[in-house]
Amino acid sequence: MQRKIRILIVEDEEAIRTGLRDVLVFHGYELDCAADGNEGLDKALSGSFDLILLDIMLPGMDGFEICNRIRSRDREQPIIMLTARSSDEDIIQGLSLGADDYVAKPFSVAQLVLRVQAVLRRSRIAVEMEHQLQLGDGIEIDSRNLSGRRGEQALSFTRREVEILQYLKANSERPVSREELLNRVWGYAKNLQLETRTVDIHIAKLRRKIEPDPAQPRYLLTVRGAGYRLLTE
């Protein structure tokens, strides 16, 4: 018998926590919950979860710190952050710490379920890609251990960042739109209308790692009105 997919909800608002649990159980997932940051971190690090839904504003320890500590142990754990904050700074901070995506409150339960399904589906797909990625003369990335070098500087990546680079490399002859990246890298359905800056923020994170001058990118280019293009030479 195939095991159920396990999801951890870390959310202090009981109504939201209970509602999410009931909806996700209805969709066939196995759920565990935590009502504060310390309990959430303990469960996240001691359990084995296919996905963590992590609120930002929590008593005891906020979601940013929990995400940071999870990422220090496991760079591939799928995480979606739930946030009542809508400012770019907060969203950027969450994604910069390694969250796969964010959902802003108040949210549609139906859309949240679709995004949960997409992240889970993407995390299970074995991506066929070259292990080594080289940009220009000085940047080397190894997808197997999510690490790389820019000259003498060591780099670390999340699985999602590597997948973005490898998809752009596989399509380097043309610009790739945000919608295509959401569909092919994040796994979201083509007809799912999402208001999200997830792609832009991940691109900004990657530029800070691979570009000599992120303000004047040489490798990861924006093509106005068309999307992004990766130049490997």
- Per-domain residue ranges for the chain? 6-124, 132-230
Indicate the pLDDT class of residue 87, thresholds 50, 70 and 90: low
pLDDT digits (tens, 9 = 90+) for 105-123: 888 888 888 889 888 877 6
- Give yes or no for residue 127 having a pLDDT over 50: no
pLDDT digits (tens, 9 = 90+) for 215-225: 999 999 999 99
pLDDT at 195: 62
Tell me which of 27 and 190 has the higher pLDDT: 27
- The radius of gyration of the chain from alpha carbons, rounded to an integer in Å, stands at 18
Is 123 in contact with 147 (CB distance < 8 Å)?
A: no
| CATH class of segment(s) 132-230 | mainly alpha
Please report the beta strands in 137-208, taking only residues with DSSP state E, as ranges in sequence order. Answer: 139-142, 147-150, 153-156
> Which of 197, 138, 127 is closest to 169 using CA atoms?
127
CA distance 1 to 90: 41
- Give yes or no for residue 132 having a pLDDT over 60: yes
Structure tokens belonging to residue 31: 């759920």
Tell me which of 128 and 95 has the higher pLDDT: 95
Cα four-point dihedral sign 68, 72, 73, 77: positive
Tell me which of 187 and 182 has the higher pLDDT: 182
Q: Same CATH fold, 132-230 and 6-124?
A: no
Percent residues over pLDDT 70 in the chain: 90
Helix, coil or strand: residue 51: strand
pTM of this structure: 0.61
Measured in degrees and rounded to the nearest 5, phi and psi for residue 62 equal: -80, 170
pLDDT at 109: 85
- Give yes or no for residue 81 having a pLDDT over 70: yes
pLDDT at 128: 43
Fold (CATH) for 6-124: Rossmann fold (3.40.50)
